[in-house]
Amino acid sequence: MRIAVISDIHGNLEAIKTAYLDILERNADNIICLGDLTGYGPYPNEVVDFIREKRILVTLGNYDASVYERKFNYIRDNEINKFCMPWTADRLTKRNIEYLKSLPERMTLKYGRKEICFAHGSYRDINEYLNEDYEKLDEVMKDFFGDVLVCGHTHIPYKKIFGEKLLLNDGSIGKPKIGRPNGTYLILDINNENIKVEFIEFKYDTNKTADAMRKEGLPLSCIEGIMTGIE
């Protein structure tokens, strides 16, 4: 069983289309998305429609929750979000808003005796940043009862081992923070009790996304972030 894990598309249609084709070439059996379909990028409806059309399993992202609630409960109250959150909410169709509202906060799947939990921030909070240097990381994993925890939200891919437990982050499809404009995702190759993890980095047409953002009047700092991979 090969599972591709993606997240943090953030309205970047060019990135998700490229990632999807790349995933097909790598013969993944399933795709799971860890949320944040919307925000920042110029194509919120198109991204949600794409994910729905491909029947991809999705968990709720913090930005998606903020968009349908029109509140800053789950995102930072800064100048970019003050523009991007209401801009996105105003453009989403009622159908897509209802879709975001229907998403679960976490998803747990069993493969043999392995229990894998998929969530946006962490299994206990969609807005918890599980960075590699997070001071509560040991506490989070100690209280985690599964075998593998797969998260997004930080936009930085990594793998970390806690005894017999594994913590993974797939990075970001549409708004990377790796110092390069390339999107990232991961593939879990599950064979009986063995899980092999492969991190994928891919290039896409960033200029096309940036041009669309400029036409929509999205903030320059947001455009620069997507073009450079630096927040």
Q: Determine whether 228 is exposed, middle or buried from the number of CB atoms within 10 Å of its CB (0-12, 13-18, 19+).
A: middle
pLDDT tens figures, 83-114: 999 999 999 999 999 999 999 999 999 988 89
Radius of gyration of the chain (CA): 17
Contact at 8 Å (CB) between 191 and 44?
Answer: no
Q: Residue 71 above 90 pLDDT?
A: yes
pLDDT tens figures, 194-203: 999 999 999 9
Q: Residue 24 above 90 pLDDT?
A: yes
Contact at 8 Å (CB) between 51 and 37?
Answer: yes
Q: Residue 192 above 90 pLDDT?
A: no
Average pLDDT over residues 7-27: 98
Per-domain boundaries in the chain: 2-108+169-228
What CATH number should be reported for the domain whose range is 2-108+169-228? 3.60.21.10
What letter does residue 122 receive in the DSSP assignment? -
Q: Would you state the structure tokens that stand for residue 162, as one six-digit string?
A: 């806690």
Tell if the pTM clears 0.85, that is, is over it: yes
Q: 10-19, 81-90, 161-170, 192-201 — which is least confidently predicted?
A: 192-201
pLDDT tens figures, 34-54: 999 999 999 999 999 999 999
pLDDT of residue 223: 97
Instruction: Find tokens 């976490």 and name the residue.
Output: 106
19 phi, psi to nearest 5 deg: -60, -40
Q: 36-40, 61-65, 110-114, 177-181 — which is least confidently predicted?
A: 110-114
Average pLDDT over residues 159-164: 97
Report which of 95, 154, 99, 158 is spatially closest to residue 130, judged by C-alpha positions: 154
What is the rounded CA–CA span in Å between residue 212 and residue 194?
43
